[in-house]
Structure 1
Amino acid sequence: MITHLDTTNFEQLVTNAPGLHTVRFWAEWCGPCRMMAPIYQQTATALQEQASFGEVDIDAVPELANQFRVQSIPTVLLFKDGQVVDRMIGAAGQSQLQQLIQRHAD
């Protein structure tokens, strides 16, 4: 399951929550973002036991993109115990995304 994140739930579900959290920053008009959407969904289903999955629409919530210095989309940030521990910029395949997450899974 992918959770839609905004300023009302980001702290509770990501930065104040223990564990591993994957957050995709995207926009509706972004071609590579649309291309990566099913890959992100498949990865969320495959690795739901290892991490939570959320996404931020940068047009709807630009303050979160600014807070985490997201300058290109798609960008995937990996949070562990509230801190950014890794990032992937640009469209990626499922194996790349899974490797990113599994590198930080306990």
Structure 2
Amino acid sequence: MVEELDKLAFQQKVIDGGGRTLVEFFATWCPHCQAEAPVVDEVAAELEGVVPVYRVDIDRSPEVADRFAPDGVPTFALFDGGQLVERKVGEQPKEELLRMAS
């Protein structure tokens, strides 16, 4: 299960955490996000202990979503040292998410 972050946890684990992290910005009402959920779970399992994978619900943390996922959901954002280094919008194949995190 991929941990869902709120605004405070996002700041602590992604921005202040220092390492590489992959974050999916999603919405519970989004059919593309629902379709992507099993893929994200697989990616998180493969990256366990290497690169943390988190989710941010755009409706629960709109200020974070407005800043890092302004173009819609799902949005996948790779952070390194608290800085956004890559972003992809829309459903992504597992291989692409693994490539982003490597």
Q: Which band: TM-score by shorter chain?
A: over 0.9
SS in 1 for 2:8: coil
* Residue 42 (structure 1) aligns with: 42
Partner amino acid, structure 1, of 2:34: R
In 1, Cα distance between equivalents of 2:24 and 2:66: 14
* Residue 80 (structure 2) aligns with: 80
Residues 69, 4 of structure 1: alpha-carbon distance in 2 compared, 3 angstrom cutoff: closer
In 2, Cα distance between equivalents of 1:68 and 1:93: 20
Q: Structure 2: which 5+ runs fail to align?
A: none
Aligned pair 1:8/2:8, yes or no? yes
Q: What TM-score does the superposition give when structure 1 sets the normalisation length?
A: 0.90
SS in 1 for 2:33: helix
- Counterparts of 1:21-100 in structure 2, within 5 Å, are 21-100=21-100
Contact (CA 8 Å) 2:27, 2:73: kept in 1 or not?
A: yes
Q: CA deviation at 1:48?
A: 1.5
Contact (CA 8 Å) 2:69, 2:75: kept in 1 or not?
A: no
SS in 1 for 2:7: coil
The count of corresponding residues between Structure 1 and Structure 2 is 102
Aligned pair 1:18/2:41, yes or no? no
Where does structure 1 differ by over 4 angstroms across 4 or more consecutive aligned residues?
Answer: none
Q: CA deviation at 1:69?
A: 4.4
